[in-house]
Structure 1
């Protein structure tokens, strides 16, 4: 099983169509039998948890049985989009001149659910893999705990961007105030764990979420990073692999 995530950036004049794509693309993917799980996602400003949406930037996630054939293949980015999501979505992005960045991931360990589903299959809590890694943390925040959550996450987000081994992060979510997620990339699992369990602010948040039961649902998944291609704001943000021709 593999996952593909594309971050999509629209020109300002096409924001209406960017918002419309949330529902249109979700419905389109719902009818595709090869898609095991999918989400259309908003993006927050600043790269991590954010109450302020970035109306130009959006995310698209699919889970499929096998995407390994695209990892080594030299393929045009829009052709890859077509293979991952279908011709309708690829033509949509081409029509609106979107900037695209895509990553193909292999889930290796994790726990929790997304809308009651094990979105990335049955995963072990731990694995022996120690190389470059991507982390997806996702939670539905209880309404009566929102003030506690937002009062604490800013410090942890700032810590993360300064952490050894940190490469890039993007805040994503179905509803950025309440259903929040962060996708982050690290040079190694060890460096990520040093941040998660040793840096003060993040360690305190982990403890408080358990003690005060901030979340009605949560999920944490670690992935091998198999392929990246494209750019965001003209930059390939992870640069673990050479890009394919775009």
Structure 2
């Protein structure tokens, strides 16, 4: 199923688009293929017309905020010059067609950057266009954890996972990363900036972890970005991840 953003009447077709493609593989032969593609797909991705920044990532089990990897899940983040190019290439480019042909489940979400701070692989990959009103917001947090504090970091993760999993406002959450345990990215969707900020600022394991990160300089590199939703299609975990967001907005 394809849907426009639940928060806007029509997607903005111009300006940078960031696309997240989630692929689920079940047979062992397809999981092994996907694992090999973490190295082999980089060159064909780089040669794809119109592509900018891209990252191949794995996911954690459950909601992703665990040190145990999910061997059946792959996420590809890409940037494109506009929505038309993003839709066409993630559907028709040979490298994406190969992933789709083997995947049992695919969810694709197209985003427009609204704010960004920090660096990813020593660059800023996103081109923010500013806030788009008080609409649904996607939060992306990516960090490289310093080796000396790796155990300290992961000891705090279970409490954070329980906190975000128990927050009624979060629409979707998934933890992914380029290198297990060292490179971590959280991807979450919230009904609005107020709900996201309330979770981030509330006293609890998340706030205490952030304070520890700042005090101990735990991250070698970090990036924080916020996005608006343009379009999405497909399913993840057997359902449309934006279904509850649409229901919440219909009830307002």
Normalised to the residue count of structure 1, the TM-score between the two structures is 0.87
1:3 matched to 2:3: no
Give a deviation string over 1:180-206, Cα, whole Å, max 9, x none.
Answer: 011011111110100001141111111
Please report how far the alpha carbon of residue 32 of structure 1 lies from its aligned counterpart in structure 2 after TM superposition.
2.6
Separation in 1 of the partners of 2:53 and 2:99?
21
State the partner residue of 2:250. none
Task: Give the aligned CA root-mean-square deviation in angstroms.
Answer: 2.1
Give a deviation string over 1:131-156, Cα, whole Å, max 9, x none.
Answer: 11111100000000101101112111
Normalised to the residue count of structure 2, the TM-score between the two structures is 0.85
Which of 3, 19, 22 aligns to 2:35? It is: 19
Q: Secondary structure at the match of 2:181?
A: coil
In the superposition, relative to structure 1, how do residues 84 and 90 fare at CA in structure 2: closer, same or farther (>3 Å)? closer
Q: Secondary structure at the match of 2:215?
A: helix
Which of 147, 151, 154 aligns to 1:147? It is: 151
Unaligned runs of 5+ in 1: 72-79
State the partner residue of 2:169. 165
1:220 matched to 2:224: yes
Contact 1:228 1:241 in 2 (8 A): no
Give a deviation string over 1:204-245, Cα, whole Å, max 9, x none.
Answer: 111111100010000010100111210123111222469xxx
Unaligned runs of 5+ in 2: 1-15, 248-252
Aligned pairs (5 A) from 1:225-236: 225-236=229-240
Which of 71, 74, 80 aligns to 1:58? It is: 74
State the partner residue of 1:77. none
Give a deviation string over 1:112-131, Cα, whole Å, max 9, x none.
Answer: 1100010113x48x746321
Q: Secondary structure at the match of 2:176?
A: strand
Give a deviation string over 1:11-60, Cα, whole Å, max 9, x none.
Answer: 23221101012122221111234111000110111213221111111101
State the partner residue of 1:198. 202
In the superposition, relative to structure 1, how do residues 132 and 70 fare at CA in structure 2: closer, same or farther (>3 Å)? farther
Which of 35, 46, 50 aligns to 1:34? It is: 50
